[in-house]
A and B are shown apart, each in its own frame.
Chain A
Amino acid sequence: MDQKIKFTGILGTAAAVVAMIGILAGCATMGEKPKPTMVPTERGTVLFLDKYEFKSPPQNWALMKNLEGGDFELGFMLIEPGAFPTQTTFMYDDQPYGGSQDLETRAKYYCTRFLFNSGIDLRVTKQEKVILGGKDAIALSLEGENPNRDEKAKSKVYLVKKGNRIVSFVCTQWRPMNGTYSQEPFDYYEVFVQSFKFLKKDFYETFEEELTKAGL
């Protein structure tokens, strides 16, 4: 009797192992490869997580992506030859500084916060109203220095009205005080901004629709 029970037990274990291998094998064959973050299109653009489409800079620019929430949605960085901090970053930030829904007010506030922690004494060199992707926007050009840290920075910022909210595109080039700014990275930034398309409704657009549906 004992023998029989043991035998059944061994068979049962074997069946379980086979089943396990079957399941694992199934997992191995059925498991999908993780989708790449950026997928090239025939139009010379890339699709970013199926959320945005834009022309990306050359491959020597590193992609910056938020994994756990933070200050920006996506961006690119180029470490350029030269002494620290010779580099340029640009990004799409869907929650720029400030809360006002008015572009002018938001721009005024934004300039009080932008690069504040860097100690750069920043000044607006140009501010103009523009249309970006059919949306009202303000383009800000800023420059400043921090002699104590031997750094200077030059930025171009677009604050864009998107529905009830304001989103932004930001490019900042860092140089040591005696360094010279280069135009090429800003050209890539302009191409990125001008080609940028929103492929999906964002959280806030969807949420506002839900509020309307709920009669709020």
Chain B
Amino acid sequence: MEAHNRDLYLYKRLNTQVLGVSMDDPITLKYFSESLMLEFPVISNQLPWMGMAYGAYRDKRPFLPDGTPHWFGRRTVIVDKRGILRYIKDGSPDNKEILNFLLNLEKEFREKK
């Protein structure tokens, strides 16, 4: 999250909107966003249709040893301007890879325009 926040000025130049999605409730996310000084929206998706739609289910047991629900893993997706899913990667995001991918996507979009 912090890394995306750091790169926001580059995402803006790439005409990209960053969105965070979490199963946490809106109040928790509000404090989470404030504590990290996030400058992009974070969506609360408690009924996890979004995580399901984007296939972010974990392949591990859905509960941590302490009983905490843990149904979804971290997944980064890039949706292009036509709504087509162009990039999917699980785990910690690789921001440099994402930035290069977005640059190529923007170039591709401009060529086709």
Contacts and interface: CB of A to CB of B under 8 A. Distances in A.
A and B are interacting partners:
yes
Interface of A: 95, 97-101, 105, 109, 112, 164-165, 203-204, 207-208, 210-211, 214, 216
**Residue of A105, A203, A214, A216 with most chain B CB atoms under a 10 A cut-off:** A216
Interface in B32-60: 35, 37-39
B9 interface: yes
A97 B5 CA distance: 10
A101 B14 contact: no
Contact of B9 (A97, A101, A210): A101
Q: How large is the interface on B (under 10, 10 to 19, 20 to 34, 35 or more residues)?
A: 20 to 34
B23 interface: no
B37 A98 contact: yes
14 contacts: A98-B5, A98-B37, A99-B2, A99-B4, A99-B7, A99-B37, A109-B37, A164-B9, A203-B96, A207-B99, A208-B10, A211-B10, A211-B103, A216-B15
B81 interface: no
A75 to B, nearest CB: 20
A216 B9 contact: no
B1 to A, nearest CB: 9
B37 A214 contact: no
Contact of B6 (A99, A203, A214): A99
